[in-house]
Structure 1
Amino acid sequence: MASRDQFQRFIFEHSQVRGAWVQLGESYQVIGSQAPYPDTVRTLLGEALVASILMSSTLKYQGTISIQAQGEGPLRTLMAECSHDRYIRGLARFDEHAVSEDSFTDLLGQGQMAITITPEQGHRYQGVVPRESDTLAGCLEDYFERSEQIATTLILFADDNGAAGLLLQRLPGATDDDEDLWERVNHLARTVEAAELLELDSETVLHRLFHEETVRLFDAEPVAFRCTCSRERTLGALEAIGRDECYSIIEEQGSIEMDCQFCHAHYRFDRNDIDHLFTGHTLH
């Protein structure tokens, strides 16, 4: 059986309309098992992971794109990140006593949402996403319309077993024919059922939706969970905390212990590690 963790680009031939499709299985299961997520939170996290992958197709350089939301509702933090080579990670922080069968807006309440693009070379960019829609997809569509001036359709689904999505974009320079094409395919995309995206392969889904159009589907790319944490990165975070604070913790606790929020890797640093970090050599 083919892997469900796949991403594919496609274009409508001889037009300025493009798209992307993604389906997640194992990677979504791994990320969803990192905490006892309630169903509503897990579903939204799945949608965010799918959205980050679809949006990574718009990157023009190597790096990562992340979706981050902070709220005052029972869901305090939502974060999903995808790299240019389709490695993903994500998390959610929530009040387990307050989460119920709530909508996107009810879960997050008032708060901010942002898209962060971090290139491997160059400056980091962050754009604020208006939270005026009652769905994550709607908010991200607004972001593209306002920040990028690109008409975008996002279809996002997630359930207990997997997550999937579809992206369509009308690029700048569209002709009248492209406008007509956009209206047709945009309408058709919004008729897709959750079960179709979650269970069927890309060729079947695209044929069902757009069989009257000429669609070119590019080779599939694998998607996988991978955390970017490391002992070196964690030491860098300690360096940012500062010498005095680190030595204060060492004096009080004997060591500094840190857990990765994404993969739960555990890192322990003793006095020798901190000496080496701040002086370049061990003193004990």
Structure 2
Amino acid sequence: MTDHAPHTSVSDDLAAAFQIEGWPVRGRLVRLGAAIDKILAAHAYPEPVAALLGEACALAALIGSSLKFEGRLLVQAQGDGPVRYVVADYGTDGSLRGYCRYDEAEVAEASGGFARPGARSLLGQGVFIMTLDRGPDFDRRDALG
């Protein structure tokens, strides 16, 4: 006799808040599957660049999914390192886009034998910006870091 579990459809893409009862602990988690696969498949990013873009997209989805209004959250970093520009764009409708501009030779050099150099090694000195776009009826709000 063979037991068959009912098939349940679970999305690879998930953003959820959580709270641990009885403890002053609350948080948010995000899991990207098909959404990040689609973004990364559109370009042949080297592994360190793909990892950086994945982190930016996860950050955008993590924060953007908690917005209490319809709009978009853009996470951007621009620097003088091997990765010149990374952007992740999360819409409160669940849409996600991302892109990196980089120098392939400089990325390989920055890796220096490591599979995944950190964001600081890849971006160098520069700026980090998060922009809230509430649509055409509101001014955009930037947070520069």
Normalising to structure 1: TM-score of the pair? 0.43
- The structure with the largest strand share of the pair is 2
Contact 2:83 2:107 in 1 (8 A): yes
Contact 1:20 1:57 in 2 (8 A): no
- The structure with the largest helix share of the pair is 1
Distance 1:63 1:17 in 2: 28
For 1:83, the equivalent position in structure 2 comes to: 91
The secondary structure found in structure 2 opposite 1:97 is: helix
For 1:92, the equivalent position in structure 2 comes to: 100
For 2:121, the equivalent position in structure 1 comes to: 106
When residues 16 and 119 of structure 1 are mapped into structure 2, their CA distance, relative to the original with a 3 A threshold, is: farther
**Which structure has the larger Rg?**
1
The amino acid of 2:142's aligned partner reads Q
The amino acid of 2:72's aligned partner reads T
Pair 1:123-2:123 in alignment: no
Distance 1:119 1:16 in 2: 31
For 2:6, the equivalent position in structure 1 comes to: none
Distance 2:121 2:28 in 1: 29
Cα displacement string for residues 59-85 of structure 1 (whole angstroms, at most 9, x for unaligned residues): 231111111011111101000011112
Contact 1:118 1:124 in 2 (8 A): yes
Contact 1:70 1:111 in 2 (8 A): yes
Contact 2:15 2:65 in 1 (8 A): no
The amino acid of 1:119's aligned partner reads R
- Aligned pair partner of 1:66 in 63, 66, 74: 74
TM-superposed deviation, 1:14: 6.8
- Superposed CA RMSD in Å reads 1.7
Written as runs of structure 1 = structure 2, the 5 A alignment for 1:212-231 is none
Cα displacement string for residues 192-246 of structure 1 (whole angstroms, at most 9, x for unaligned residues): xxxxxxxxxxxxxxxxxxxxxxxxxxxxxxxxxxxxxxxxxxxxxxxxxxxxxxx
Contact 2:85 2:100 in 1 (8 A): yes
For 2:41, the equivalent position in structure 1 comes to: 33
Runs of 5+ consecutive residues of structure 2 not aligned to the other structure: 1-8, 112-116
Distance 1:17 1:124 in 2: 31
Percent of paired sites with the same residue:
36
Cα displacement string for residues 148-173 of structure 1 (whole angstroms, at most 9, x for unaligned residues): xxxxxxxxxxxxxxxxxxxxxxxxxx
Written as runs of structure 1 = structure 2, the 5 A alignment for 1:188-203 is none
TM-superposed deviation, 1:89: 0.4
Cα displacement string for residues 112-168 of structure 1 (whole angstroms, at most 9, x for unaligned residues): 110100002311100012xxxxxxxxxxxxxxxxxxxxxxxxxxxxxxxxxxxxxxx
Moved over 3 A (4+): 12-17
TM-superposed deviation, 1:2: 2.3
Distance 1:45 1:84 in 2: 19
TM-superposed deviation, 1:17: 4.3
The amino acid of 1:108's aligned partner reads L
TM-superposed deviation, 1:30: 0.8
For 1:256, the equivalent position in structure 2 comes to: none
TM-superposed deviation, 1:57: 3.2
Distance 1:12 1:124 in 2: 34
Distance 2:71 2:24 in 1: 25
Runs of 5+ consecutive residues of structure 1 not aligned to the other structure: 130-284
